[in-house]
Amino acid sequence: MSDGCHHAFIGMGSNLGDRRSFLEKASQEIGNHPQVRVIKLSSLYETEPVGYLDQGWFLNQVMEIETTLTPEELLSFLQGIEDKLGRKRLIRWGPRVIDLDILLYGELTIETPELVIPHPRMYERGFVMLPLQEIAPDLIHPDGKTTREHLAMLIKTEKMEKIRLFQD
Ligand code: AMP
């Protein structure tokens, strides 16, 4: 993969059933696509739910890939994996077996009804920024700031949800 190849970051989360196994299955599915190469996978982080609070803690992870898929193709590929793994879209921000978001796609900024990149809420979410800092601390975002700088700004707001490294 070289021509038209882009680095992208995917945020993954699960808070129903065997959360770890859903994340592993999602990673495998992503890596099986002929136009996707997995570059890095963060540790697993356990996160207190936000929004709809009457649900279990999430397991979150961030993945770096290299891909020749367009952002729209990547979104529809990820939605296919969510459907295959049985995600039920019942309550917004509610329980889910798997949630896959495109966080970043190169230095691209996109804003269409179907797709917003960078992901609109990523900079407010510790469960995205902490794993992202683990695998790409010096990455430069479309606004010119690094992951480190974004995370430092988030920490200053003191609005970060509770997060811990997940241990077996
Ligand atoms: P959610 O249920 O929170 O995962 O939201 C899914 C919806 O968000 C889908 O209909 C997508 O079209 C839309 N969406 C917008 N931007 C993104 C993004 N960067 N990654 C994933 N889904 C996105």
The backbone torsions φ and ψ at residue 94, rounded to the nearest 5 degrees and listed phi first, read: -90, -170
Pick from 75, 76, 91, 127 the residue to mutate for probing ligand 1's pocket: most ligand atoms within 8 Å of its CB. Answer: 75
Q: What is the pLDDT of residue 2?
A: 53
Q: What is the pLDDT of residue 90?
A: 62
Architecture category of domain 6-120 in CATH: 2-Layer Sandwich (3.30)
**pTM for this one?**
0.92
Please give the Cα distance from 33 to 139 (Å, whole number): 25
Q: Which among 5, 141, 3 is positioned nearest to 66, based on CA atoms? A: 5
Q: 83, 99, 121, 148: which one is catalytic?
A: 99
Nearest residue by C-alpha to atom 10 in ligand 1: 114
Nearest residue by C-alpha to atom 22 in ligand 1: 101
Does residue 102 sit in helix, strand or coil? strand
What would the pLDDT profile of 7-51 be if each residue is shown by its tens digit? 999 999 998 889 999 999 999 999 999 999 999 999 999 998 877
How far apart, in Å, are the Cα atoms of 26 and each of 67, 84, 108, 136? 16, 10, 24, 21
Domain ranges of the chain: 6-120
